[in-house]
Structure 1
């Protein structure tokens, strides 16, 4: 098959550039789909990041209702196998229990994505129910990091992280209930924005009020792609519990201007959790870069009761995931999760969380409130807080202490392991504030290290403005211009 572009040419295009070429008549959505499918075929055998390619959509990009006049004009896109459903397509959630589960309807956000001109041509991998730090279960699949296939991508947006980093496609779906956009973006060298509450709808199955912590989004390789995705796909469905807000101007316009002089706090000491020294040095280096761009940078920390906040977050996850699992059992005539079809930690989460009382949830929400207020007070004095995305290096494959295949008898101890590794992302979900991972650092093992910026509620645009300013300052050379070992240009 003759492709529309060489792989070097393909890899130089972000989604915005590809859409521009479609509008100029230089390439068609079908040619883009064929190239992306070939890119997946070229890289996925080494990565196990794609569950399924929709060959009928590759052949006919308009088949499922993609709008070719949308902002992305037919740019290929993978949907994480979790969250928004695709009518008539499988959604198996990384679980043996869900094999063969086929969606009856599109979710609201699926329709927004299609209307934006993104061509959903397959499913990317995720750990079971999105609950752990990597898609690493040999009974399902083991998704590998394209920078070093002996390491994970982290999770839970595992396949998306790998495919965008490997150059198979420039943008792909991700979700974030505690860092699952930002953490794999950090480990794979992508841009990953977790938006504020009130941006992307999770209708009809839930809402920002009932879901509390889970956010939709994408991975990309350019700030303008992420900005365009938010502009095109944001907005609430009819009947939302809470209002959906709009910025004063589209982010694609906002990011063309540098922000004013920002007050940027650096931090890596979050309660009991600390980053390894090399990550602190990388954070300080990025701080100096930002000082060079004219910003005020210093060490500072919100006055948060971190132990209480992480305990509340743990209660939220255990009770939320328990109900998620429980809702999947009844339609299958099951009274409990079957061993062998549901991973051990997820069974223990179900057992631990099913009996969560209203009083316990009320106490949890009281801590959500005090934590959110503490971040709010902090952002009266500071515009941005900068941290590493993770505290510890990306795990090697098979490091089961972070996985739901773990034999850890204690769910609380298992979550404690997660927080030691992924300390800096979850509280943004708790507080509903935005956070973005930018590929600015490098781990000692050579993998990328994301540097995370967080801002006050509804200041998503400020994060994108700062990211765009950095992107211009480094001439677009994220990851120091490096490419991973598994990449479309060298597969």
Structure 2
């Protein structure tokens, strides 16, 4: 098969540029899909990032209801195998227990994506139920980092991060319950925005009042693509519990203007957690770069009880996830999770949370409130807080302590260990505030490293404005213009 573009041409285009080529009649949506499918075939044997390609929508992008007049005009897009459902398509959530699960309806956000003109043409890998930090169970799949395949992509948006970094698709779906958009973006050299609560719907099966911490989004390689994705897909489904944020002007317009002089706080001392000196040095380098753009930067931290906040976040995960498992067990007519089909830590989370009292949830909600109020007060004085994306460098494949295949008998100890590593991302989920990982930094071993910015609730546009200003200042050269070793242009 002859492809419509060379791989160098393909990798140079973002989603916005590809959509424009379709609108101008230079390319068709089917040609874009065929090129993306060829990119998957080229890189996936090494990366194990894609579970399935939907061959029927590669052949006919309009088959599932894609709107060709949408802003993305048929751009290929991969769905993380978790979150929004696709009618009639498998969604197996990284779990042996979910093999063969085929939802019967499109989620609201799925409809929004199709209306936006995205061609949902396959599924990307995720750890079981998106709970842990890497899609790394040999019985299911082991997803590898395209920059160095000895290392993990991290997660839980594992396959998405690898496919965008490897140049296969310009943009792909991701979800974030505590850093699952931002951390893999940071370790794979992508842009990863976790929007505010009340931007993307998780309806009709869940709402922001039931989910609390989980939000939808994407990975991209340009700020304008992420801005266009938010503009096109935001909004509440009928019957939302909470109002959804609106914006006075589209983000695609807003990002064309630099923000004013921003008050940017800097921190890596996050409750009990500290980043390694190497990563602190990368944060300080980013701070000097932002000062060079005219912003005011100094060390500061919200006056919140972060230790209590992490405890509440742990309670939220345990209680939410235990009820998800309970629902799956009830549907299957089972009393407890089968050990041969569900990973050990996920069973222990279920055991810890299945009988959790409302009194415990009430205490958790009180800490959610006090933490969100403390961050809110902080953002009365500061526009943005900047941290590293994680406190520790990217783990090698086979580092089991962060995985749900871990044999740790103490689930609270397992979570505590997680927070020592993923220290800076979870509390923005708790508070419902926007946060973004930008590929501005580098680890000593050459892997990318994200710089993490958070802002007040509904100030997603300011984060994107700052990101676009940085992108312009870098001449569009995120990751110093480097590409990973596993890439569509390689070989």
- Structure 1 length normalisation: TM-score? 1.00
**Counterpart for residue 215 of structure 2:** 215
**Counterpart for residue 132 of structure 1:** 132
CA distance in 2, matches of 1:130, 1:324: 12
Map 1:10-409 to 2 at 5 A.
Answer: 10-409=10-409
Say which SS state the counterpart of residue 420 (structure 2) adopts: helix
Q: Offset at 1:324?
A: 1.1
Q: Offset at 1:481?
A: 0.3
**Counterpart for residue 472 of structure 1:** 472
Deviations 1:69-124 (A, max 9, x none): 10100000000000000000000000000000001000000000000000000000
Gap regions ≥5 residues in structure 1: none
Q: Offset at 1:446?
A: 1.1
Gap regions ≥5 residues in structure 2: none
Say which SS state the counterpart of residue 56 (structure 2) adopts: helix
Q: Offset at 1:445?
A: 1.5
CA distance in 2, matches of 1:99, 1:245: 36
Say which SS state the counterpart of residue 302 (structure 1) adopts: coil
Q: Offset at 1:325?
A: 1.2
Deviations 1:224-244 (A, max 9, x none): 000000000000000000001
**Counterpart for residue 446 of structure 1:** 446
Q: Offset at 1:327?
A: 1.1
Number of aligned residue pairs: 491
Deviations 1:274-303 (A, max 9, x none): 000011000000000000000001111111
CA distance in 1, matches of 2:328, 2:70: 35
CA distance in 1, matches of 2:404, 2:398: 11
**Counterpart for residue 486 of structure 2:** 486
CA distance in 1, matches of 2:398, 2:55: 32
Deviations 1:15-56 (A, max 9, x none): 000001000100000000000000010111100000000001
Which structure 1 residue ranges, 4+ long, deviate > 4 Å from structure 2? none
Say which SS state the counterpart of residue 273 (structure 2) adopts: coil
Say which SS state the counterpart of residue 249 (structure 1) adopts: coil
Say which SS state the counterpart of residue 193 (structure 2) adopts: strand
**Counterpart for residue 456 of structure 1:** 456
CA distance in 1, matches of 2:152, 2:287: 27
CA distance in 2, matches of 1:325, 1:449: 34
CA distance in 2, matches of 1:319, 1:480: 42
**Counterpart for residue 429 of structure 2:** 429
Q: Offset at 1:133?
A: 0.2
